[in-house]
Structure 1
Amino acid sequence: MEMNATEKFYLPVDGILEMFNSFTGDQSPITLSVLQSTALTPALQTPQVSNIPKTGMGIIKMVKGCWRQQDKKVVTMRSSSSGNRQMSTDRLPKGSVDLLELGLTKPKNCHRIVVLGAPKVGKTNMLQRFLGEDFEEHYEPTSEDFHRKLFHIGGEAYQIDLLDAASERDFPAKRRLSILTGDIFLLVFSVDDRDSFTEVCELLNEIKAAKAKLLKLKHPARVRVVLCGNKVDLGAERAVSRSEVEEMLGEGVAFFETSAKDGTGLEGVFTALASLGGLPIETSPSRHQIVSILTYQSMCISQQGRKGNSRTRGLGAPCAAVDPLARRPSFTSDLQLVLGSSTKQNKSERCQIQ
């Protein structure tokens, strides 16, 4: 049977946006506003139909093929950079492992850490240290990084999402959304750069104001923040003293002087992050073993099957896995998360991202 000159092509709106965002790496305010307007609409709608010529369908297939190849390259790069044995994407999970969605953990065991600060202060290397990787001397500007580290400690599963929102300095709407979805904040400045310290002070005030507005508070909200003065290994080159930092911050903010290069102070930072999130101290990189994502999944499934047995049997040593396919949730999901997190908002109100 001959095919018509055109074929009907169905693609949900979210799929179109995610496809273009994957190619361009850009979530413009226009895209964000579209997502904000669609986040509250019913999920079941009749998809729009458009007629696409066969030539257009061929282009789409070619682009999708390139997209899959790029995904495989990303997986290979992440596997090799962590020092683990490279594995075929056919053996990896088909998508990102979300313990909450899979019913393998509790909401209280899932946290998102948002990392903010000026460029070139060492944010990426601090995240790499937390993921169990080595310091990288070569600097490459970070557009946006999202990592997911999964833990198995004392018979329970934990999930920590890490968002390095470096590219959002010039996009207030995107930065505000990241702040509103964050549970814990890691603010980083360089002790040899006074401007970077001024920036984290402004970010701290922005975080408090954003959370207060979300919760309808009259005063700045108390937030879970860890502040790092990085690059203390530079010694005589420092431009910001510890006493000055403590005087400007006051009480309520944990402050550490660190070096992502030689590891100074990082153990205290990771311990403070765990304490703020109510997480076990074994989430600190020095206190657990790194395993593959497949080993981690089988461990969680096996543990779930032993729920009826004694909790002291077969718990094993603390371990963790880095999800190589982790990607930041869509802006639609983040908006719904923000809207659902505020119990004091009326149903008619919308989250003020701008």
Structure 2
Amino acid sequence: MNATDKFYLSVDGIPETFKSCNGHHQLRITRPVMQNITHSPMHQHRSSSSSKVSNISKAGMGIIKTVRGRWRQEKRGVACRSSSTGSRHSSSDRHLTRSVDLLELGLTKPKNCQRIVVLGAPKVGKTNILQRFLGRDFEERYEPTAEDFHRKLYHIGGEAYQVDLLDAARERNFPAKRRLSILTGDIFLLVFSVDNKESFKEVCELRDDIRAAKTKLMKLKDTSRVPIVICGNKVDLGAQRVVSRLEAREILGEDAAFFETSAKECTGLEGMFRALAALSGLPDQTSPLQHQTISLLAYQALCTGQRGRRGSRTPGLGAPCAAVDPLARRPSFTSDLQMVLGSSTKHKSEKCQIQ
């Protein structure tokens, strides 16, 4: 291999070299270095290859400039990238540093804060139903749940409301953790897929477990008082259906809050969301179609009586609105356990219910 061939290999490897650097800036290749190469003794000895070396050096510098430009773009855009779960943050929410808890801030009443616990077998559409509730689009490709906690804040009729959504899918194989999630829930959404009979059986078992746990914790005499909404999802599949509406009604009972839905086609969801609101004592306007979505900063300004940032659209006090908290994280299991123990003490329970 002659000297010219070696030089071609080193320049052609520049893109791969930059890729291996993975965005680090320690590698610096400047124009003077390239100029020194072109004026090396080898270049003086082989005048016939001078044009090739000059062209290669220009090409190399072009690659370097392109990569540097990409670095600058990535640095500027890192704050507004969406997460892998598909959540979309308002550009004005990029400057938030912590999540918002209305109860801790003294901006609402305890009865206006509700936690909805979502349970069901894998691949039944729980995540997409939650995405619809948050005002987001349907995701066609299935991915195991990564983000299991969401918080939506409302301002309706001059009052602030907070709804926490806990998808307990990842606790399916951890009975103690799942039981803790059940005990801390205020209302429950159980989801099965109409093309999967096993998922329906699991929902029936979950309903019995929830009723047993909550009635024991709250000292209830009537198990039907536990607020549970059951959702038969994926009715758009049609021919693949194996659980009929009649069969589900016969097993669940006529009094059950049962809805057939399609998260993909967005059918049946409005009635289900309204039932969740009714059972949890929240206004009907908490349903996604009944309010306007604003940024979290605009919501905070609305609740505190301050003027929003310039350019933000803040509705009047009479217009129902809501904001999704992009920084909300699931409370620790320690704090959930303290909540349950406090509730147990309040109702004079003899022992902890996490068993």
Shared fold (TM-score greater than 0.5)? yes
Q: Is the 8 A contact 1:144 1:165 kept in 2?
A: no
Deviations 1:278-308 (A, max 9, x none): 11111111111111110000100008xxxxx
Which residue matches 2:35? none
Which residue matches 1:196? 199
Instruction: Give the AA of the match of 1:203.
Output: L
Structure possessing the higher radius of gyration over alpha carbons: 2
Query: Number of paired residues?
Result: 271
Please show how residues 58-97 of structure 1 align to structure 2 within 5 Å: 76-78=81-83, 81-87=86-92, 89=94, 91-92=95-96, 94-97=97-100
Structure 2: distance between partners of 1:111 and 1:285: 16
Structure 1, unpaired ranges of 5+? 1-71, 304-313
**Which one of 211, 216, 223 corresponds to residue 213 of structure 1?**
216
Return structure 1 stretches of 4+ with deviation > 6 angstroms: 72-75
Q: Is the 8 A contact 1:259 1:265 kept in 2?
A: yes
Q: Is the 8 A contact 1:151 1:283 kept in 2?
A: yes
In the TM superposition, what is the alpha-carbon distance from 1:167 to its structure 2 partner? Answer: 1.0
**Which one of 322, 333, 342 corresponds to residue 331 of structure 1?**
333
Structure 1: distance between partners of 2:84 and 2:296: 11
Which residue matches 1:274? 277
Structure 2, unpaired ranges of 5+? 1-76, 307-315
Identity over aligned pairs, percent? 72
- For the aligned residue pairs, the C-alpha RMSD in angstroms reads 2.5
Instruction: Give the AA of the match of 2:274.
Output: T
Structure 1: distance between partners of 2:282 and 2:250: 29
Which residue matches 1:134? 137
Structure 2: distance between partners of 1:259 and 1:290: 23
Structure 2: distance between partners of 1:296 and 1:79: 25
Q: Is the 8 A contact 2:82 2:88 kept in 1?
A: no
The change in CA–CA distance for 1:182 and 1:75 in structure 2 (over 3 A counts) is: farther
Deviations 1:116-173 (A, max 9, x none): 0000000000000000000000100115510000000111000000000001111100
In the TM superposition, what is the alpha-carbon distance from 1:83 to its structure 2 partner? Answer: 4.5
Structure with higher helix content? 2
**Which one of 317, 320, 330 corresponds to residue 315 of structure 1?**
317
The change in CA–CA distance for 1:78 and 1:150 in structure 2 (over 3 A counts) is: farther
Which residue matches 1:255? 258
In the TM superposition, what is the alpha-carbon distance from 1:108 to its structure 2 partner? Answer: 0.7
Please show how residues 147-158 of structure 1 align to structure 2 within 5 Å: 147-158=150-161
Instruction: Give the AA of the match of 2:342.
Output: G
Deviations 1:179-236 (A, max 9, x none): 0000010000000000000000000000001112213456646310110000000011
**Which one of 311, 334, 342 corresponds to residue 340 of structure 1?**
342
Normalising by structure 1, what TM-score? 0.72
Normalising by structure 2, what TM-score? 0.71
Structure 1: distance between partners of 2:223 and 2:204: 14
In the TM superposition, what is the alpha-carbon distance from 1:333 to its structure 2 partner? Answer: 1.2
The change in CA–CA distance for 1:265 and 1:214 in structure 2 (over 3 A counts) is: same
Which residue matches 2:353? 352
Q: Is the 8 A contact 2:85 2:146 kept in 1?
A: no
